[in-house]
């Protein structure tokens, strides 16, 4: 029993030391002031979850992107994103994957702390979404290639974890809604990437 108590005490002490070290590593960087405005670029990767009617036809697939941001001050910034998402066909076996290309821009608001360089943010964007699906044959019937570009909106929440003087870990979750002639297409993306500041 005494041995279990000592082990539990050692584990708790280790957790406190790790937490203190994390806070100290964040505050160490905060002593050097960051110059504003500044640019950054992020490479992102994650998955896209189709929802609603879109989710009835297509499965979850991978997504990749590049995020360019311009931070005006500690709280306000703007971003532009180029994304590429792949959605495997759920209904028709052998049908090719559908793909969405996203090119959107929008504002980003950071929630910051005086002692930390890491932060949370909210962002919203608008722009174009291009849908493509190559031609394919099902039961001897050929379906033509389909391409369309529509206006869309997105919004999400994310965070920036400071890894060093000019490098951050960026993570965010976004909801996308694309306005199409017969309604709308929606999907959700959790994304993770490395952000490099200039």
Domain range for 16: 1-31
Structure tokens at 51: 């929802």
84 falls in which pLDDT band (50, 70, 90)?
Answer: very high
Return the closest-CA partner of residue 161 out of 190, 188, 114, 193. 193
Structure tokens at 171: 């993570």
35 falls in which pLDDT band (50, 70, 90)?
Answer: confident
107 and 12 part of one domain: no
The tens digit of pLDDT for each residue in 123-147 reads 999 999 999 998 887 777 777 888 9
2 and 98 part of one domain: no
Return the closest-CA partner of residue 146 out of 100, 105, 108, 114. 100
Sign for the CA dihedral angle at 177, 54, 121, 37 comes to negative
34 falls in which pLDDT band (50, 70, 90)?
Answer: low
166 and 98 part of one domain: yes
42 vs 23, residue with greater confidence: 42
Mean pLDDT of 77-95: 89
Q: For residue 5, is pLDDT > 80? A: no
26 and 45 part of one domain: no
Mean pLDDT of 81-98: 88
Instruction: Quote the CA–CA distance of 47 and 191 in Å, as a whole number.
Output: 7
Return the closest-CA partner of residue 29 out of 117, 105, 103, 112. 117
14 and 108 part of one domain: no
Return the closest-CA partner of residue 182 out of 140, 132, 148, 136. 148
156 vs 17, residue with greater confidence: 156
């Amino acid at each position: 029993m005494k041995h279990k108590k000592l082990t539990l005490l050692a584990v708790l002490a280790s957790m406190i030391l790790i937490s203190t070290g994390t806070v100290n590593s964040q505050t160490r960087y905060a002593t050097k002031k960051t110059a504003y405005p500044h640019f950054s670029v992020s490479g992102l990767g994650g998955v896209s979850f189709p929802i609603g009617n879109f989710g009835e036809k297509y499965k979850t697939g991978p997504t990749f992107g590049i995020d360019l941001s311009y931070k005006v001050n500690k709280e306000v910034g703007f971003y532009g994103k180029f994304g590429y998402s792949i959605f495997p066909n759920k209904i028709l076996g052998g049908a090719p994957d559908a793909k969405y290309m996203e090119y959107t821009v929008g504002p980003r608001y950071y929630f910051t702390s005086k002692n930390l360089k890491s932060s949370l943010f909210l962002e919203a964007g608008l722009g174009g979404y291009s849908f493509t699906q190559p031609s394919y044959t099902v039961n001897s019937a050929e379906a033509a290639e389909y391409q369309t570009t529509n206006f869309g909106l997105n919004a999400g929440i994310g965070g920036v974890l400071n890894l060093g003087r000019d490098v951050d870990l960026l993570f965010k979750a976004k909801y996308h809604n694309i306005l199409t002639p017969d309604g709308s297409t929606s999907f959700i993306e959790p994304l993770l990437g490395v952000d490099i500041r200039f």
